[in-house]
Chains A and B, each alone.
Chain A
């Protein structure tokens, strides 16, 4: 069956360090992979999208890599700040531009 796995344990890092979050998937061939941020009690907020033919995408302090051979995406936040503390969701989409399939998310805690 299709599965999307993200680290279920919270990731604790110090301010200024680089946070790296992992998303692994099985039995899926997504056309797109997206990362969202979710704060408690709020809706997911779109961060970055990467297509299957792209290896890397950057936006300000964020970087996403996508390895379709390993079936893995890495999400990096450089120079992390306490305001980056949130849950980060990985989501896959097939070529039909319909549903997003979400992972369970990884909670990031950035301490001063």
Chain B
């Protein structure tokens, strides 16, 4: 069964460093999302992406964050200058179009630790 994959599974970085989290959505899906989950808290929406542009973003998704679909398969989240409070699990999700697009399928996550 097709699934969303994410790399790396774990990332440790120093405060102020840039990180890029990578995702390969399910093939033929057209809607892509990033969510994050701080330890012990709920899953929070960051951004949605469709047709090579951001379609919605939350207040968490400030100028330090960016997303990109550099080719036909990858979807990336970049954090330009990481802060301690960016430490969280980051989940990529994708959904199909037309009728079933509201079902979002999540990847296993990248655990980001900012020191």
Chain A residues with CB under 8 Å of chain B are 32, 34, 36, 38, 41-46, 49, 89, 91, 93, 96-105
Contacts and interface: CB of A to CB of B under 8 A. Distances in A.
B48 A43 contact: no
B68 interface: no
Interface of B: 4, 31, 33, 35, 41-45, 48, 55-56, 58, 89, 91, 93, 95, 101-109, 111
Contact of B103 (A42, A49, A98): A49
Contact residues of B: prevailing secondary structure: strand
Contact of A43 (B56, B95, B102, B108): B108
Contact of B41 (A41, A93, A104): A104
B91 A44 contact: yes
B107 to A, nearest CB: 5
A43 B91 contact: yes
Contact of A44 (B41, B43, B45, B102): B43
Contact residues of A: prevailing secondary structure: strand
Given A42-B109, A43-B91, A44-B91, A102 B44 contact: yes
27 contacts: A34-B102, A34-B103, A38-B43, A41-B89, A41-B109, A41-B111, A42-B108, A42-B109, A43-B4, A43-B91, A43-B93, A43-B106, A43-B107, A43-B109, A44-B106, A46-B106, A91-B43, A93-B102, A97-B95, A97-B101, A97-B102, A98-B48, A98-B56, A99-B33, A99-B45, A102-B44, A104-B41
Contacts of A101: 45
Contacts of A99: 33, 45, 48, 56, 58
A34 B93 CA distance: 15
A104 B108 CA distance: 18
A51 B56 CA distance: 22
Contacts of B93: 43
A1 to B, nearest CB: 13
Contacts of B56: 96, 98-99
